[in-house]
Amino acid sequence: MSIFFLIKNWRFRQDLNGTILIFLFSVVSISVNINMKCLYCQEETSNPKFCSRSCAASYTNKQSPKRKLTKICSQKGCECIVRNYRSRLCEFHFLEKIKNKKENTLNTSLGELREKNKYLHRSSLNAHIRVLARSWFKDLTKLPCACCGYDKHVELCHIKSLSSFSDDVLVSEANHKDNIVQLCPNCHWEFDNGFEKKW
């Protein structure tokens, strides 16, 4: 008489005279390849439903499309739909707001902006003014360096440094297009450190 125990992948057998024999039990896995058609493009695939993530996304988007925007602009008298889910303004009023913000900033003095950043280190005192220049003159960053012609990466540089302007000067004067030039990093460093540059 023999008794069999199956524990994980080992098999034990105990004989009548008490000796235990151990055998290795192997499991045979059978894989079946069934080709199916993709639910979206009807191509043969071994995946259960779709041949690619692209087909899965396209199929899902057709079955349950994104909800439509129904939120109305918050401006009085405007019945337009907002720009996106986060926005409270329609496209027209949003662009108007941006334009007004830029005009207000142009008429702000450097002293007012420096006052907001007075607790920062003095090297960061004019950082906000430099950020405004970069956002207003993005088209200059697509041009090559005004000094050497390098065109892979250029930075905007103030010809007359911001620290030399007094507090009563307007941002529009400090960030005027005639006071800004595009330079590659090497020429920018040389210009800031006193080497003469001609463009």
Q: Is residue 20 part of a domain?
A: no
Q: Is residue 176 part of a domain?
A: yes
Q: Tally the domains of the chain.
A: 1
Q: Is residue 156 part of a domain?
A: yes
Question: Whose CA is closest to 175, among 158, 189, 151?
Answer: 158
Residue 133, domain extent: 102-192
| 10-residue mean pLDDT series, the chain (199 residues) | 44 56 49 75 88 92 85 91 91 92 84 80 79 89 91 91 88 90 92 78
The C-alpha atoms of residue 91 and residue 155 are separated, in whole angstroms, by 31
Q: Is residue 15 part of a domain?
A: no
Angle at 132 between CA 135 and CA 174, to 5 degrees: 125
The C-alpha atoms of residue 193 and residue 11 are separated, in whole angstroms, by 82
Q: Is residue 49 part of a domain?
A: no
The answer to whether 159 and 197 have CB atoms below 8 angstroms apart is: no
pLDDT at res. 90: 93
pLDDT at res. 27: 45
Name the DSSP letter for residue 18: S
- SS3 state at 176: coil
Cα Rg for the chain, rounded, in angstroms? 35
Q: Is residue 54 part of a domain?
A: no
- SS3 state at 182: strand
pLDDT at res. 28: 46
Residue with tokens 């830029």: 102
pLDDT at res. 64: 86
Q: Is residue 164 part of a domain?
A: yes
Quickly count: other Cβ atoms within 10 Å of residue 188's Cβ. Answer: 19
- Amino acid identity, position 72: I
Q: Is residue 161 part of a domain?
A: yes
